[in-house]
């Protein structure tokens, strides 16, 4: 079975703009989640687990050039289909960007623009916020050197 590529954030934005039906949006989230490359078994550990998520979510942060020129990439996974799609959406927003942008940009604004905030359970919203906070905290640490 071939591995699908996770779409870029601009492709995701275009898709959400074209999809009006919420069932279809959920299906799309599940599909982009399926495209996330799986983490290695040893990366699904307690240190990489995002606290505050009801489902298991693991996040691996990679930093190149710590300090003011730090660049961030992320890998992630979840054991729940929709949550894995939310992880994919979040990583598409943040991964491959400078730490100075990652530390200040709030992906939850993107979730609001898609109307996701109203269609997520409070537990899922809290989990997404926990993941975003972790990513932004990792970026702040990378900037500090």
CA separation for the pair 35, 99 (Å, rounded): 24
Q: Is 139 a catalytic residue?
A: no
Please count the other Cβ atoms lying within 10 Å of the Cβ belonging to residue 125.
17
Which listed residue (9, 32, 50, 53) is catalytic? Answer: 53
Measured CA to CA in angstroms, residue 82 lies from 39, 79, 120, 121 at distances of 17, 9, 10, 11
CA separation for the pair 1, 10 (Å, rounded): 26
- Would you please indicate which residues are annotated as catalytic (active-site) residues? 53
């Amino acid at each position: 079975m071939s591995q699908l590529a996770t779409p870029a954030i601009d492709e995701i934005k275009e898709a959400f703009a074209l999809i009006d039906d919420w069932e279809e949006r959920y299906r799309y989230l599940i599909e982009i989640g399926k495209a996330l490359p799986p983490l290695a078994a040893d990366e699904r550990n307690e240190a990489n687990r995002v606290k505050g998520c009801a489902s298991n979510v693991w996040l691996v942060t990679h930093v190149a050039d710590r300090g003011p020129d730090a660049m961030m990439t992320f890998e992630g996974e979840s054991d729940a289909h929709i949550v894995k799609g939310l992880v994919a959406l979040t990583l598409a927003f943040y991964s491959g960007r400078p730490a100075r942008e990652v530390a200040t940009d709030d992906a939850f604004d993107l979730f609001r623009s898609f109307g996701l905030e109203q269609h997520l359970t409070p537990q899922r919203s809290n989990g997404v916020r926990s993941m975003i906070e972790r990513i932004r905290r990792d970026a702040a640490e990378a900037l500090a050197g």
